[in-house]
Amino acid sequence: MKSDSYTSYFRKDIDEMEGYAPGEQLNIPELIKLNTNENPFPPCPGVFQALANVDPERLRLYPNPTSDPVRDEIAKMFGLTRDNVIACNGSDDTLSITVRCFSSATLPIACLRPSYTLYPTLAALHGAPVKYIDLADDFGMPDDVLDQLKGTNLFLIARPNAPTGNSFPRELMENICANYRGMVLIDEAYADFAADNCADFVNRFPNVIVSRTFSKSRSLAGLRFGFALAHPRTIAGMMKMKDSYNVSYLTQTLAIAALRDTEYFTDCVDKIRMAREMLLAGLLDLGFEVVPSETNFLFAAPPDGDGERCFRELRARNILVRYFPYPRTKRYVRISIGTSNQVVKLWAVLAELYGDNRK
């Protein structure tokens, strides 16, 4: 068919926008894949066991529409009730539900810059204006954040932030949540790797949603499971917006198995934190500038300040990291923390490239 024979019936803004561009998912065996903050370790043994026990006959039936068994497990873990929890198809589903619930053409959203670029994309898809709040030079929160938030209805904050990796002080978060007249979504995709989190805010601030995912700390990015904690009224409203069966039977079953294997989980998180500190020391030694990280990745600027060159040179040597070609991020690459073995290989390549700057 000739391409010019296509008549578009899309909304004009959808036709004109760029879609969200996820990190590449290449399947090259020798590739060291450090570009999408996946976990280098396999899911916990309990997940393997639960998968082996799945009866395919069960897949004939719809899953529990509101994922009640897994919500109960999560509620228990946080000392909350089922009414405080919504289960989602990955945290991107949580974010999409939230944007659709709390924004519109006349209810703008606010997000930090640089931060997770899916936020403005979701707003654009939904026809909601975006107020960008630029982070300070050190990627901290600007002092006048509350002033800048005026007139917006939803503030999306990744804490710790991505792609920068740093966190924001809890007192600052408390101040924002207490004084902002709108909904705050705290995206805690990386909180399991951090020194603290804001899960307890759910009991204290009715305008807070805390979002978590199994994609990073629980090695289950392919499963697609995330959840959010919030006031029961907020959860009830979000339930209206979600797809009827937004979490599959397989996902619900395996998510429960993952939650019960606490020892393996803690062990994996510890190993990643250790590998993160090892890579940090190695990068500093080569003259990189590295943002303090509370995540499973490091945001690092090579000594020549050319993030794109670093990305390309690594890629040519079968190491894939992420490069964001925007004004505030172009000096850096974002490197997901792999196994200590992968960290050693990465460092050897970087030492070849930047060894002259060695301290």
Ligand X SMILES: Cc1ncc(COP(=O)(O)O)c(C=O)c1O
The footprint of ligand X (CB under 6 A) covers 37, 90-92, 116, 158, 162, 187, 189, 213, 215, 221, 226
Q: How far is CA 169 from CA 78, 98, 220, in A?
A: 21, 24, 28
**Closer residue to ligand X in complex, CB, 32/162:** 162
Q: Where are the alpha helices (DSSP H) in the chain?
A: 12-16, 45-52, 68-78, 91-102, 118-125, 145-149, 170-179, 201-204, 232-241, 249-260, 262-285, 307-316, 340-354
Q: How many CB atoms lie within 10 A of CB 109?
A: 26
Distance between CA atoms of residues 159 and 313, nearest Å: 30
Distance between CA atoms of residues 214 and 143, nearest Å: 33
Residue 56 main-chain phi, psi, to 5 deg: -55, -25
Q: Any long-range contacts for 61-70 (C-beta under 8 Å, 24+ apart)?
A: 61/249, 62/245, 62/249, 63/245, 63/247, 63/248, 63/249, 63/252, 64/249, 64/252, 65/244, 65/245, 66/239, 67/247, 67/252, 69/252, 69/256, 70/227, 70/247, 70/252, 70/255, 70/256, 70/259
Distance between CA atoms of residues 178 and 174, nearest Å: 6
- Give the DSSP letter string of 302-343: -TTS-HHHHHHHHHHTTEE-B---STTTTT-EEEE---HHHH
- Give the DSSP letter string of 208-255: EEEEEESSSTTS-TTT--EEEEE-HHHHHHHHHHS-TT-S-HHHHHHH
Shortest Å distance, C-beta 210 to ligand X: 12
Radius of gyration of the CA atoms of the chain, in A: 21
